[in-house]
Amino acid sequence: DEKIEQIRSMGNITEFASAVNVSFSYYLDDGNALTEEVRKKLEEGGNLEAAGEDVGPYVIGVRLIGMDDASLKEFAARTGADEEQLFDASKNGVILINKRSDVTNGRSSWKESWNLKTGDSVSGSFFKTEGGDGAGDYKESLGRLGFTVAGITDQLPLGGYYDSDFNSMCMYTTVEN
């Protein structure tokens, strides 16, 4: 954090944001968090299995981006997100980007994927591996992860981007989350 503040204080820096990200497959417990169009597309593929368990049809590619506190506060203020929920570690608050590019019949348009509002909670599982010696001797299991929507927007923070897949989720949170 000290280095971030040093960079911010440099005279020739007009905007700055620091972020780390992780991507993973997320198996939603409830498809009602999705728009009807996305929900139906996922249901067409049938139920999936991960770590030997049925995880249902609602698999989402998640890109979870942790931002430095100052940049996240600015983004929250600009988008009207609830800072209290966003910075409450017990709620795993996120700002969800609800805009994606869609190409249908050669025509490009912007669409939403999520049927959520500020304050909604979402729960699901993610695939994880533990142990292993590099030779494939590891344990597969499902971890649990829930989050609270502290804000939902079609805007992006500095350096942000939109996912184009109908089953992708990009969300911003604190680095600690």
Amino acid present at 149: V
Nearest to 171 by CA among 118, 103, 128: 118
For residue range 134-151, what is the model confidence (pLDDT) as tens digits?
Answer: 666 778 889 999 999 999
pLDDT grade for 169, boundaries at 50, 70 and 90: confident
To the question of pTM greater than 0.75 for the whole model, the response is yes
CA-to-CA distance for 169 and 111, rounded, in angstroms?
Answer: 13
Determine how many CB atoms are found less than 10 A away from the CB of residue 153: 19
For residue range 13-59, what is the model confidence (pLDDT) as tens digits?
Answer: 666 666 778 889 999 999 999 999 999 999 999 999 998 999 999 99
CA-to-CA distance for 152 and 143, rounded, in angstroms?
Answer: 25
Report the chain's mean pLDDT, rounded to a whole number.
Answer: 86
